[in-house]
Amino acid sequence: MAKNKTNTAPATTARGHRAPKGVLRRLLRILFEFYPVLLPVALVCILINAIVSAVPAVFMQNIIAIVDDSYKTGDWSSVSGKILGLVAILVGMYVISLIAGFLYTQMMAIITQGSLKKMREKMFSHMQDLPIKYFDTNGHGDIMSYYTNDVDTLRQMISQSLPQMLIAGVTLLSVFCIMMYYSVILGLIVVVGVICMVLSARYVTSHSSKYFLRQQITLAKAEAFMEEMMTGQKVIKVFCHEESAKHDFDQVNGEIFFNARNGNRFANILMPLLGNIGNVMYVVVALVGGALMLTDIPNISISGMAFGISIVVPFLNMTKQFAGAVGQVSNQVNMVIMGLAGTHRILALLDEQPETDEGYVTLVNAKENADGSLSECKERTNVWAWKHPHHDGTVTYTRLQGDVRFYDVNFGYTPEKTVLHNISLYAKPGQKVAFVGSTGAGKTTITNLINRFYDINDGKIRYDGVNINKIKKADLRHSLGIVLQDTNLFTGTVMENIRYGNLDACDEECIAAAKLAGADDFIRRLPEGYNTMLHGNGANLSQGQRQLLAIARAAVADPPVMIMDEATSSIDTRTEAIVQRGMDALMTGRTVFVIAHRLSTVRNSNAIMVLDHGRIIERGTHEDLLKLKGTYYQLYTGALELD
């Protein structure tokens, strides 16, 4: 297999990925929200530090002027006193600058790390409010890149680039004002040189920034690729896909190399280029200044001073300082661009629309009155009711039973493609409804609509007679339990993972749920039983054991409606029998929706729905469907494969 050439231009372009205008303004507004007092104080200290850095030129001019005047008059008696006075003032200003510099560096450390901490918290908090669709349509590695690469570019920009650019900018303004005060002619020479430096810097950074922006994008792409490869490492090895994986990685890595190399090639010539322009500007100022001194051409200045060594020598130092400040600004431009690119991605995450919830029907603890009606109460009674406020100010309570009904439901993940067509079904409290059909028939999609991971396009879904669009999503999901085919366990003890289904559950309730699911036996054989730590999605457990814990987690939530999405697909036949007994016990008094490839697990269902391309083509009990000798019969007898 041919290797990817790393010097090939990448497919990813920066087009459409430039940080838009307003990103820096939004970032500064966020920083001021985080630190409304500390940040302004730090900025004042930065300004003091920058202004003081421009002062030595003034003192040098005064000292040279004092020495020059004494030389001309021959009076040296007061020279030392005047110079010492100026030096004392300069030392005092340097002490102030030192204190200001120390304070702003310490405050910027607090502001930088504190802002990143709060930004990550803000991002994570917002991410919890995003709909499932966002995570279904964005790579997990790409999302992780927000918290790593993008946040790191933001750190560099806040802690280094922005303060240095502010210092350099204030220094430029201060030095330029001093220059024009002493000599407009020499100042204009510096302006011409600066224009050359700015044009050169603009040309170089326009090319380097393009590649640095691409680098930021390809870094996120590489992180997404690595996350995918680590997750699928067993599959890679089983199918001997190592060489192909290496080739794919070389391609992604080549894009990073191409962008980083070209970006740094342009960035690395910037400082030598600006340095040489600064040197030429220094020489020109020296030549013109010397010529003006020798020819006695009148000096055009605000100060009104004539050309002399007391102006030309400090001017040369200011020219060096001015060129250095321009170079410092230019040197930080690329880092600022990368920081703005990372900030743009972070703000794009924060701008993602959170999951909408117009529901107003809530789930409350209830008690039954003497007349059979329900009323809300604070204490836990194990009786739940839907609290339904009406426009006329009245409130009605409907007992939570688990009656779920679909009425002519149509749905598509995108407007262009409908995946469910006219789905109508009902599940009465305590009934078990099974969905069977080939992959992509729409089985899981139906369950995603019940818990409102996605909202329907047309039709109605009623839960205990209440339109689920009127129920608050958190309350709706609180009444549902779900066991997915892909089990997710979290770092923590076995007990903590079971309690995840109900954070208020005590240890006894968690153990009872584990026994109900058939997980208690293997848990007690673990090294520390229920206190055994799990890591890496329960990597120290078998797939079947992880699935049993997921079922126990759903059981401890004790919901009236359970959704089993291929819950036994990864369990062996013996374990399946144990789980099935636990599931049968768990189903008592509950409405259960089951998705299964193993038709043996759905034979005792009250109703079996056979789906094909988003339509229910058959429905009935196991016996009824066998008598029809249709699709279900062919699936059950093996004449037709599910996949």
Cα–Cα distance, 229 to 151 (Å, whole number):
23
First-to-last CA distance in the chain?
Answer: 32
pLDDT digits (tens, 9 = 90+) for 365-415: 888 888 888 888 888 777 889 999 988 889 999 999 889 999 999 999 888
SS3 content of the chain, % helix, strand, coil (to 5): 60, 15, 25
Q: Is 12 helix (H, G, I), strand (E, B) or coil?
A: coil
Tokens describing residue 37? 């007092």
Tokens describing residue 358? 């117009």
- The pLDDT of residue 529: 92
Please give the torsion angle defined by the CA atoms of residues 354, 358, 361 and 362, in that order, rounded to the nearest 10 degrees. Answer: 20
Of the listed ranges 185-194, 292-301, 514-523, the one predicted with least confidence: 292-301
Cα–Cα distance, 545 to 575 (Å, whole number):
9
Whether the per-residue pLDDT at 45 is higher than 60: the answer is yes
Tokens describing residue 88? 């004392």
CB 487 within 8 A of CB 538: yes
- The pLDDT of residue 615: 93
More confident residue, 469 or 197: 469
Q: Is 434 helix (H, G, I), strand (E, B) or coil?
A: strand
- Which distant-in-sequence residues (6+ apart) come within 8 Å of 166 by Cβ? 43, 46, 47, 50
- Which distant-in-sequence residues (6+ apart) come within 8 Å of 30 by Cβ? 115, 119
- The pLDDT of residue 133: 86
Cα–Cα distance, 542 to 526 (Å, whole number):
12
- The pLDDT of residue 308: 73
Whether the per-residue pLDDT at 623 is higher than 70: the answer is yes
Give me the residues paired with residue 533 across strands: 493
Tokens describing residue 433? 């409804």
CB 581 within 8 A of CB 613: no
Question: If you classify domain 404-637 with CATH, what class do you get?
Answer: alpha beta
pLDDT digits (tens, 9 = 90+) for 354-374: 988 889 999 998 888 888 888
- The pLDDT of residue 620: 92
Count of C-beta atoms within a 10 Å radius of residue 577:
13
CA distances from 547 to 326, 349, 431, 553 (A): 63, 33, 23, 10
Whether the per-residue pLDDT at 97 is higher than 90: the answer is no
Instruction: Annotate 233-282 with three-state secondary structure.
Output: HHHHHHCCCHHHHHHHHHHHHHHHHHHHHHHHHHHHHHHHHHHHHHHHHH
Domain boundaries, the chain: 23-33+115-155+164-351, 362-399, 404-637
Q: Which long-range contacts (CB under 8 A, 24 or more apart) does 417-420 make?
A: 418/457, 418/614, 419/445, 419/614, 420/445, 420/446, 420/449, 420/614, 420/615
- The pLDDT of residue 610: 92
Q: Please, which pLDDT band fits residue 123 given cuts at 50, 70 and 90?
A: very high
pLDDT digits (tens, 9 = 90+) for 419-446: 999 999 999 988 899 999 888 888 889 9
Question: If you classify domain 23-33+115-155+164-351 with CATH, what class do you get?
Answer: mainly alpha
Segment 460-472 shows an average pLDDT of: 93
DSSP 305: P
- The pLDDT of residue 582: 64
Cα–Cα distance, 565 to 559 (Å, whole number):
16
CA distances from 70 to 60, 123, 230, 303 (A): 15, 67, 79, 20
Whether the per-residue pLDDT at 18 is higher than 70: the answer is no
- The pLDDT of residue 242: 81
Average pLDDT, the chain: 83
More confident residue, 239 or 617: 617
- The pLDDT of residue 185: 85
- Which distant-in-sequence residues (6+ apart) come within 8 Å of 509 by Cβ? 502, 556
More confident residue, 293 or 79: 293
DSSP 613: T
- The pLDDT of residue 22: 82
Strands 480-483 and 432-437: unpaired
Whether the per-residue pLDDT at 335 is higher than 60: the answer is yes
Could you tell me what percent of the chain has a pLDDT over 70? 89
More confident residue, 17 or 121: 121
Of the listed ranges 148-152, 207-211, 609-613, 618-622, the one predicted with least confidence: 207-211
Whether the per-residue pLDDT at 617 is higher than 90: the answer is yes
pLDDT digits (tens, 9 = 90+) for 553-573: 888 888 888 888 876 665 666
- The pLDDT of residue 12: 39
Instruction: Annotate 319-357 with three-state secondary structure.
Output: HHHHHHHHHHHHHHHHHHHHHHHHHHHHHHHHHCCCCCC
pLDDT digits (tens, 9 = 90+) for 492-541: 899 999 998 888 889 999 999 898 888 888 899 999 999 999 887 777 78
User: Measured over all CA atoms, what is the biggest interatomic distance in the chain, rounded to whole angstroms?
Assistant: 126
